[in-house]
A and B are shown apart, each in its own frame.
Chain A
């Protein structure tokens, strides 16, 4: 996900402008000049300024050049490139969406299997991790720390 400075800078300008505008709409506290609007407006203004400077390429001379990574990437990234990086956050969302219905153990096992395989693990290693780690985590968090992890279709044996 390497974007040009122009893109990230413009994004910050837009975000800052929205923050400034959104802040200015907030209701004031009666009888006081300074209220909830002041801070977002100051920050919004700062973001617009910084974003504009970044888009114009000012200050780039301070940046260390990025180290080139020439070794071949593992597993999933070899097939779909940089998008593979977005698998972990997608799996977290998956966890939120299905863990309540499916239960902690199966959801966690699926997450681990997918991540391990994407990182280039063999099926044997990935399956081992997916079977054992959820049980260990469940033991630590649900049994010892009493975090209410959802049972779903497959309650834990304890």
Chain B
């Protein structure tokens, strides 16, 4: 109980209040602008978090990402352009509702069910994480190795691309972490004699490059979004309670799917929304209405993407394994602020964890009034010309990367990873897998090499402990899954030919 009180004290400071408010507005605006994603919003915030207290720093990340995931629905509903990839699954549906003259219902549902999803996700985080922490205390390097490896495999499974390309992308990320002197031998590895590379490649400049610079690069060759037509909006929350009662089951299914997908390492809000929308259609009593402006799928997937956001924090705080790309960034901030992820975080720094939950709840409640304001102002915000927003983001990439260590080399890294991210995406290599490889590489190598040293080079001990055997089976299943799907497809194709 003491820890909870302490947590309230930590949150109830002016600094945290300002941090939450400012990052909420920032997240809302970035999320609503097409092409600027929630991950990019978070990555650009990190240099600012250096100068904040630990709780305020975490609060900015939680708040801005939650707001950005919601406000990505706004241009989706009004212009049929998802503001963030997490909204892409149901953009057509929301736009169809707008065309039927129900823009306020679509936006209201997006807002209302986002907030509910966020709160349910937080409650799930509060229940799941401490319970899992008990289990995680008995984990050794073998379990950690399989967990981090499984995380990488999951990222390749959920990528909407060729699994081989996804694995290659993850391997590339792992290769990046080989650079530097931090390895089992303490020898300079792949540094090519450059002192700047001795310390290795920090994940943050890589993230800013992959998520922000490559987005600006894409904007250079794509047409700007069309101007937004003027539509008068009615009351936004009216009718949402009726929808909640009518689609209660769908909402809960969306929440649960969201939390589970979020907690799965490597799969985040966008994947949760796609799966929830597909589920909603499959189990619906009236699937023929989907795509014609039917709120059912909107309810389920809108709830799922926000609950996934909280779910992503489960593996992040417990194991230091990111649940999605946003927590991949958050883990860096946690380390920087002395809140090292791990099961002991829940015993030794319990008050900080409670503070984290409180911030999540506040952010999701704050989302409703701020969201209404944002929807009302959306016509003006969305009119901001892309040709003015993108250059500013580019400048922030340069200054932000420099601010991390006052080292100009970080800006070079941002440029290099921008090019890598752009070229990879254009050729069907999922960048999320690359990022996961970069964030988890050190952990994979450390646990792999330590385990091998412990076992004297034998592979059998990797499978001997019960939990590690289970994780190993899951990992191998994840590897074999694409092969199975491929064989099934061939069999099915071969049959009608006969």
Q: Write the nearest CB–CB distance from A38 to chain B, whole angstroms.
A: 6
Known: A47-B175, A74-B387. A36 touches B217 (CB 8 A): no
Asked whether any CB of chain A lies closer than 8 Å to the CB of B164, the reply is yes
- Please tell me the size bucket of the interface on B: 35 or more
Known: A119-B219, A145-B51. A89 touches B482 (CB 8 A): no
The digit string for A6-28, where 1 denotes a CB below 8 A from any CB of B, is 00100010011001001100111
**Contact, CB under 8 Å: A59 / B390:** no
**Contact, CB under 8 Å: B452 / A92:** no
**Contact, CB under 8 Å: B391 / A27:** no
The digit string for B379-395, where 1 denotes a CB below 8 A from any CB of A, is 00000011110111011
Asked whether any CB of chain A lies closer than 8 Å to the CB of B163, the reply is yes
Asked whether any CB of chain A lies closer than 8 Å to the CB of B131, the reply is no
**Contact, CB under 8 Å: A59 / B457:** no
CA distance A26 to B457 in the complex (A): 18
Known: A38-B452, A59-B165. A125 touches B418 (CB 8 A): no
Asked whether any CB of chain A lies closer than 8 Å to the CB of B419, the reply is yes
Asked whether any CB of chain B lies closer than 8 Å to the CB of A129, the reply is yes
Residues in B neighbouring A8, C-beta threshold 8 A: 427, 429
Q: Of B64-72, B121-129, B180-188, B281-289, which binds chain A?
A: B180-188
Give which listed residue, A2, A47, A125, A147, contacts B171 with CB less than 8 A.
A47
Residues in A neighbouring B394, C-beta threshold 8 A: 88, 91-92, 111-112, 115
CA distance A143 to B428 in the complex (A): 42
Residues in B neighbouring A40, C-beta threshold 8 A: 175, 178, 189-190
CA distance A33 to B223 in the complex (A): 56
Residues in B neighbouring A34, C-beta threshold 8 A: 184, 449, 452-453, 457
Asked whether any CB of chain B lies closer than 8 Å to the CB of A155, the reply is no
**Contact, CB under 8 Å: B220 / A85:** yes
Q: Write the nearest CB–CB distance from A79 to chain B, whole angstroms.
A: 12
Residues in A neighbouring B387, C-beta threshold 8 A: 74-75, 116, 119-121, 125-126
The digit string for A70-93, where 1 denotes a CB below 8 A from any CB of B, is 011111110001101111111111
Residues in A neighbouring B403, C-beta threshold 8 A: 141, 145, 147
**Contact, CB under 8 Å: B392 / A133:** yes
**Contact, CB under 8 Å: A120 / B392:** no
Complex interface residues of chain B between 268 and 284 (CB less than 8 A to chain A)? none
**Contact, CB under 8 Å: B415 / A43:** no
Asked whether any CB of chain A lies closer than 8 Å to the CB of B213, the reply is yes
Residues in B neighbouring A134, C-beta threshold 8 A: 395
Q: Is the interface of A mostly helix, strand, loop or mixed?
A: helix
The digit string for B171-203, where 1 denotes a CB below 8 A from any CB of A, is 110110010000111110110000000000000
Most chain B CB inside 10 Å of its own CB: which residue of A27, A39, A42, A116: A39
**Contact, CB under 8 Å: B168 / A50:** yes
Residues in A neighbouring B402, C-beta threshold 8 A: 147, 149
Residues in B neighbouring A32, C-beta threshold 8 A: 453
Asked whether any CB of chain A lies closer than 8 Å to the CB of B292, the reply is no
**Contact, CB under 8 Å: B399 / A96:** no
Q: Write the nearest CB–CB distance from B30 to chain A, whole angstroms.
A: 16
**Contact, CB under 8 Å: A59 / B171:** no
Give which listed residue, A12, A29, A87, contacts B185 with CB less than 8 A.
A29
Asked whether any CB of chain A lies closer than 8 Å to the CB of B234, the reply is no
Give which listed residue, A19, A108, A116, A145, contacts B175 with CB less than 8 A.
A19
Q: Write the nearest CB–CB distance from B455 to chain A, whole angstroms.
A: 10
Most chain B CB inside 10 Å of its own CB: which residue of A23, A96, A121: A96
Known: A8-B429, A59-B482, A141-B403. A88 touches B161 (CB 8 A): no
Q: Write the nearest CB–CB distance from B249 to chain A, whole angstroms.
A: 30
Known: A26-B185, A92-B398, A92-B418. A1 touches B390 (CB 8 A): no
Residues in B neighbouring A3, C-beta threshold 8 A: 423, 426-427
Residues in A neighbouring B386, C-beta threshold 8 A: 119
Which chain A residue has the least Cβ–Cβ distance from B216? A88
**Contact, CB under 8 Å: B163 / A59:** yes
CA distance A136 to B456 in the complex (A): 58
Residues in B neighbouring A129, C-beta threshold 8 A: 388, 391-392
Q: Write the nearest CB–CB distance from A96 to chain B, whole angstroms.
A: 5
Q: Of B89-97, B112-120, B404-412, which binds chain A?
A: B404-412
Complex interface residues of chain B between 139 and 161 (CB less than 8 A to chain A)? 160-161
Give which listed residue, A16, A38, A62, A118, contacts B482 with CB less than 8 A.
A62
